[in-house]
Structure 1
Amino acid sequence: MILIKQGKSSDLASAEIRLFLFTLIDIFYGSMLVINFRKWWVFTFIFLLFHINAFSQVLAPGTAILEEFSRRQQVIDSEETAEKEVLSIRPQITAEIGSKNKSESKRSHSEFSILPLVSNQIFNGQRPYGWGDFGIPPGRGFQQYLSGGIFARLGFLNFQLQPEFVFSQDKPFKGFPESFSPAVKRARFHYWNNDDTPETFSDGGYNRFWWGQSSFTASFGAFEIGVSSRSVWWGPGQWSSLTFSNNAESFPYLTLNTIKPAKTPIGNFEGQVLVGRLENSGREASQIPQLNDRYFLPFEGDWRYLNGFMISYQPKWVPGFFLGFLRTFQQYNENRGDKFRDYFPIFDAFQKKNFFEDGNTLTFDNEARDQQAVIFFRLVNKAANAEVYAEYGRRDHSYDWREAVMNPEHARAYLMGFQKLFSLTKENKFFQIRGEVTQHQESVNRYIRYEGLGGRTSWATHYQVRGFVNRGQSLGTGIGTGSNSQTLEFSVVEEFDKLGIIVERIANHQDFYYRAFGQQQEVQPWVDLSAGIIFNRRWDNVLLGSKLQLVNGKNYQWQSAGNSTPEFPAGKHLLSFHGNLHLVYLWNFSNN
């Protein structure tokens, strides 16, 4: 939670509030299919008429600069941050706006605010690169994300309208080549047909306008229930998550969740249960039509039913320690039944032995469900100004608990990271080191469990449900199917300002590589090595975040140079530029 000090806001008569809220509801329902610009003028007129100031500002998880600032505040050992609530579930960042007096900043019965304007611009030179950009498709060329809106509350009812607009040039680039043998092509499409990650998202430019970070909920104490399309982030990751992050476009869902830790005699709990709708991209995987015609399995057009829950526990006796568990199920809607367990499969048993009938699980397998389970922890040590965290997940549940203990590497992925701040001579100025490692590649368990050496599928893929994705992008980590990444950052930070360097390494599609090329010496893994400069700055109401990276794709797309031999392998490399510019405008921001 980010606390932004401000002066007093203007009071609003209750009749005026009701009039405004009814107008908002009319706008909301009147624009379900087509935006009615005349009603937007009504909204603008009412806003100007009553001179409403912002009470609170709500941002999506992963919003540039603000979330990182909030996270740094959580690990600083000071009286100001000691009472801050450290959240494991991140449906939003709330910038509470009040006065220095706690009684004055107490939550009022009615509120209205204009949400920050958020712009994210990306440029990729020779090829796509990057992830975690609120559904911006990873494309070549220029890309733009815009978001802004309003928030209103009347009593226990909360209304947020924050649409998003995304544009991408989505230019063609050098993708998977046609020159490989049929066996290699089949191996590549083996993963494409169990996933939904096309090389491009359009035929000449991509643009989309949709509800974005909008919601209509009712809150009661620490809990909230309603309908939402806000981005969800589960887990402690800084750049990624094994389940939900800000990588893909958000999706519509019904939710029951905590909005602050629920306090009990044994500690604090947070949690969320959601039911949502996921869509496939409908795009063919390759940029080469001939390959798609021969190897690609088209989508059938159905949407996917999603059910998930997350719970996080902070023991009363171990300050700064968080332990969490989450589980998700998805299946195509046409395969879903009408029983309670069909709507809420998250309550099914974990052991496969419970679903055996006549010595097999054919009936259960025919339900065509994709499930994932993840455990995570986070340890925040304020005295050391540091934190460590990790996530461990499994896609394919064990036969029984014995197999789970004996074979923890099967169908697993993991993520781990840290952050450390070193105090400098100037107050509130620190040297920051942070890093994160993500492993999606199958373990060597595949050589024992499956016939042959090819393995089966990767994390977030499924042979029936075509991947844990929304509109062609992974809901969790966007580094690529079966890929591994390592990120390390060094910087000097002061409040919102930051100057530093970042280095990254991504071993791309390792599961495909070992399936297609693992038993030879000439073709080498495709590895991206990148280094860049980070510059963040605040000017009053404006927050700027920027990152400039050079990306060297070694053995790009697993292509060998003309002089390559098994004894002296040589690959083709591709040098590219990746630039990212974030701008956030906070309404009524003040130094008071």
Structure 2
Amino acid sequence: MRRSALRKCWLLWWLVAPVVVAPRVAAQQSEWATLPLIGSEQDERQRLGQLRGDTAGPGLLRAPSRSLPWRPDTAGVVARYLLPEVRLVGNSALPLSLNDGPLHAGRGVNALVTAGIVVEAAKVRLVLAPQFVVEQNLPFQVIQFPQRPDLPRSVWANPFHPPPESIDLPLRFGDDSRLRLDAGQSSLTVRLGGAEVGVATENLWWGPGIRNAIILSNNAGGFRHLLARTREPLPTRLGPVDVDLVLGRLDESGFFDADGSNDSRSVAGGALVWRPAGTTGLRLGAARLRIGGPAGHDQMSSLFGQWVFPSGGFEMYGEWARFADPTSLRDFLEFPNHSQGYTLGLQWARPLTRERTVRLQTEVSYLEPSASFRVRPVMTSYTSQQVPQGFTQRGEVLGAAIGPGSSSQWLAGDLFSPAWRVGVFAGRVRYDNGVLYEPIVPVFKLQDVSILGGVRASREYRGVRVLVEFTDTARLNYLYQAYLDDPIATTSRGIDIANRTLSVTFSTAPGH
């Protein structure tokens, strides 16, 4: 037992040591760079700067290579090391993993380490930013997928989504610990005038959402893709326009089915953001993603917008999506909400002193089956009839972190200074609520809901920034499970589980 504890201490040291040592080395050598990861503390402060009117903000089409500045054109080849980032996540009873990229933070201790190198030569840039993933994956209660000869799926596959509403979303990724090296946030881009083309495995985030982006987010690991995009917004008479196009491949997890012929599938998509001429702080956008496999294809589309009022420190944003195309104009006019999902959010910030700012934010997402299910069939969001794995990458949803058929509410408040921040948050998630209307779950079932709250704080010291977040979650009616409480009154009571999550992220502050 003592050896096990020592091994854990050594592993923790080797994970954290690069972040502690790197700023000291970087102070002596100029060729270092920080990769702006989606959802990082740097990303968070850029959005706060946009709210205050200090910076332009991270934009609505985000990717690490988009946010990484190009060096001025110089002769020869220039190489820079990427300062590492280490994220540690521990869950006491159940998995809780939201927007963690290739990391699925199951029960136990988990780690995600990002580091690498940037090489630039004239108009070509190579970012090698692999991510090292450690998942302890301790056991917890799951419901196994029924073993049927006509449907050979893994016992770990999601039991609530057999065909036709199929999705590759395992409840648990096997029963062993997982240790792997992922291609991570790597990319190769070439500048062509006002555009960039290339190949990448990095995460993409389309839309204004803070917690949930419906089409693409960093909830799953990045997928291999070709890219073509604008470097800067293209000027037009109607206002600047930003474009992002991708063509790539999605991979199945190892815990879905026994059919090796459909382990990969195609994905193609595009997004556009327009800043109307004559407006300030207003951005409107649209996105569409299409997946295809041997049996057919599926798609989802969204419209989104963001309006920032820096003079008042106020922002409102929203995204509206459909997971099924209307069959005609009449169909759209009759059922505009069919298969819809949406996210709405507000942010407000106010300076208290020259260096301290308070920020409040709230976000509501709704991806549950639309009301039209009363008169016509509605597929659960992110599932697919034509592509069995649905809109997933290696077993995790490409879009909103709350997952298929879910809804959430979020409220947070933070106090910022240049060197630190502290905050509190609370939220509610109702998981995959459409399952309640299916016979898959037996009687005496109740909606699966998480009520959560927590605190978070970050501190910069000698070039190292540490972000700590603690979340206390009450998972009510876990996996819809309930038992008969009163046979006469036919009332039922749910099975509840308490889970505590501690995450610690070590990164390097920009400028160090």
User: Distance in 1 between the 2:163 and 2:461 partners?
Assistant: 46
Write the deviation string for residues 154-198 of structure 1: whole angstroms up to 9, x where unpaired: 11111111111111011221123799xxxxx99824379600000
The structure number with the bigger radius of gyration is 1
Establish whether residue 370 from structure 1 lines up as the match of residue 298 from structure 2: yes
Distance 1:186 1:155 in 2: 48
Q: Give the secondary structure class of the aligned counterpart of 2:62.
A: coil
Return the alpha-carbon distance in structure 1 between the equivalents of residues 375 and 310 of structure 2: 44
> What corresponds to 1:291 in structure 2?
none
User: Higher mean Cα deviation, 525-534 or 426-435?
Assistant: 426-435
TM-score relative to the length of structure 2: 0.86
SS in 2 for 1:376: strand
1:499 aligns with 2:422: yes
Shift of 1:299: 6.2
Residue aligned with 1:563, SS? strand
Distance in 1, Cα, partners of 2:143 & 2:94: 12
- Counterpart of 1:475? 398
Q: Conserved in 1, the CA contact under 8 Å of 2:441 and 2:480?
A: no
The residue aligned with 1:220 is: 192
Q: Which moved more, 1:526-535 or 1:475-484?
A: 475-484
C-alpha displacement of 1:255: 0.5
Give the match's secondary structure for 1:264: coil
Q: CA deviation at 1:237?
A: 0.9
1:238 aligns with 2:214: no
Q: Deviations over 1:383-435 (max 9, x none)?
A: 111111111111111112232233111111111112111221x2131111112
Tell me the amino acid that sits aligned with residue 157 of structure 1: V
Cα separation, 2, equivalents of 1:549 and 1:384: 31
Deviates more, 1:255-264 or 1:407-416: 255-264
SS of the residue 2:273 aligns to: strand
Question: What is the CA distance between 1:215 and its match in structure 2?
Answer: 1.2
Matches within 5 A, 1:73-472: 73-77=49-53, 80-81=54-55, 84=56, 87-92=59-64, 94=67, 111-176=78-143, 188-190=160-162, 194-284=166-256, 300-332=261-293, 335=294, 368-424=296-352, 426-450=353-377, 456-465=378-387, 466-472=389-395
How far is 1:437 from its partner?
Answer: 1.3
Length-normalised TM-score, structure 1: 0.75
State how far apart, in whole Å, the 2-side matches of 1:94 and 1:54 are: 18
Q: CA deviation at 1:116?
A: 2.3
Question: AA paired with 2:67?
Answer: T
Which whole-Å deviations, capped at 9, do the CAs of 1:262-317 have from their partners, x for residues lacking one?
23333211111111110011314xxxxxxxxxxx7856443101111111101121
Query: What corresponds to 1:528 in structure 2?
Result: 450
Partners of 2:364 and 2:163 lie apart in 1 by 23
* Aligned length, in residue pairs: 472
Amino-acid identity (%): 23
Q: 2-side partners of 1:556 and 1:499: how far apart?
A: 31
Q: Does 1:484 align with 2:407?
A: yes
8 Å CA contact 1:69–1:495 kept in 2: the answer is no
Indicate how the Cα distance of structure 1 residues 94 and 312 shifts in structure 2: closer, same or farther if over 3 A, else same.
closer
* Structure 1: runs of 5 or more not aligned: 1-47, 98-104, 180-184, 285-295, 336-366, 451-455
Q: State the alpha-carbon separation in 1 of the partners of residues 473 and 43 from structure 2.
A: 26
- The answer to which of 250-259 and 86-95 deviates more is 86-95
Q: For residues 63-83 of structure 1, give each alpha carbon's deviation from its aligned partner in whole angstroms, at most 9, with x where no partner exists.
A: x21111000001113xx43xx
**Retained in 2: the 8 A contact 1:193–1:297?**
no
Q: Distance in 2 between matches of 1:186 and 1:173?
A: 15
Q: Partner amino acid for 2:206?
A: W
